[in-house]
């Protein structure tokens, strides 16, 4: 798996408990940028992992607004807003987690605009769009929050960039009811359109029954929403 744990941002200390960086991440970002889905998108919501740094960089270079989740949604305002017209650093540095603290402003979900394209990181992904994350559930939670707020709709495409080794045959990646499937899988060499084979998106927003009290307390936005619901 050497090709999966080194690449765009340099080597990373193993793949355990992370969305792995991979050799060819820049090439995958370039191939994604050639799709109609990318060209038609003005606003992109992206995960903060190193593997998708070239995608976030390309979005800023192409003049797209980027919303990037604060890692683990650990702030009351859990998204970075990166405006390509107002960056303190070049796009590559601004698109990193460290750089976003200089070039972005923190925003609450209520301050986000509707999203045209969602970029998600994967540990593995099926050719049918089934996505396997690192186990924390944060990507699905971000998607649920955005859906509940009306920022993501049926026409919003979900894409991922991965190494070819991370692509699995259809039917082999397990899914749960809260999992948001991927529409397009982009490797350094090909684009896989999963839309005709993927499963349905979650039909509701936040699935409170599946969240532990510990997780709710750890995420300020969830804690605030839970307190509001209990008033």
Confirm if 220 and 74 have CB atoms less than 8 A apart: yes
| DSSP 8-state assignment for residue 9 | T
Please give the structure tokens belonging to residue 103. 């070039």
Residues 111-165 pLDDT 10s: 889 999 999 999 999 999 999 988 666 777 778 778 877 888 888 999 999 999 9
Residue 43 contacts by C-beta under 8 Å, 6 or more apart in sequence?
64, 65, 66, 67, 113, 114, 115, 116, 117
Residue ranges per structural domain of the chain: 1-206
CATH architecture of 1-206: 3-Layer(aba) Sandwich (3.40)
Q: Tokens 């991922």 — which residue?
A: 160
Burial of residue 168 (number of CB atoms within 10 Å: 0-12, 13-18, 19+): middle
- SS3 for 51? helix
Give CA–CA dist 141/179, Å, rounded: 9
pLDDT tens digit at each of 231 positions of the chain: 556 655 444 444 455 667 889 999 999 999 999 999 999 999 999 999 999 999 999 999 999 999 998 876 767 788 899 999 999 999 999 999 999 988 999 998 888 899 999 999 999 999 999 999 886 667 777 787 788 778 888 889 999 999 999 999 999 999 887 788 999 999 999 999 999 999 888 766 677 777 778 877 777 777 777 777 676
pTM of the predicted protein model: 0.83
* Angle in degrees, 0-180, between the axes of helices 53-61 and 25-32, rounded to the nearest 10: 40
Q: Tokens 């979650």 — which residue?
A: 202
């Amino acid at each position: 798996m050497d090709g999966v744990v080194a690449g765009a941002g340099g080597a990373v200390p193993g793949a355990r408990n992370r969305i792995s960086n991979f050799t060819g991440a820049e090439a995958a970002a370039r191939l994604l940028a050639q799709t109609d889905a990318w060209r038609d998108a003005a606003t992109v919501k992206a995960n903060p992992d190193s593997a998708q740094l070239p995608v976030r960089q390309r979005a800023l270079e192409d003049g797209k607004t980027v919303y990037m989740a604060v890692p683990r949604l650990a702030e009351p305002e859990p998204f970075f807003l990166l405006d390509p017209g107002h960056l303190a650093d070049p796009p590559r540095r601004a698109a990193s987690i460290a750089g976003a603290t200089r070039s972005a402003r923190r925003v609450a979900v209520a301050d986000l605009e509707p999203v045209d394209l969602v970029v998600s990181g994967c540990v593995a992904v099926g050719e049918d769009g089934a996505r396997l994350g690192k186990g924390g559930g944060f990507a699905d939670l971000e998607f649920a929050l955005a859906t509940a707020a009306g920022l993501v709709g049926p026409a919003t495409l979900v894409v991922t960039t991965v190494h070819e080794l991370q692509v699995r045959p259809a039917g082999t990646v397990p899914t749960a009811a809260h999992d948001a499937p991927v529409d397009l899988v982009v490797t350094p060499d090909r684009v896989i359109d999963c839309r005709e084979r993927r499963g349905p998106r979650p039909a509701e927003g936040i699935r409170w029954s599946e969240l532990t009290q510990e997780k709710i307390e750890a995420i300020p936005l969830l804690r605030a929403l839970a307190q509001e619901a209990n008033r």
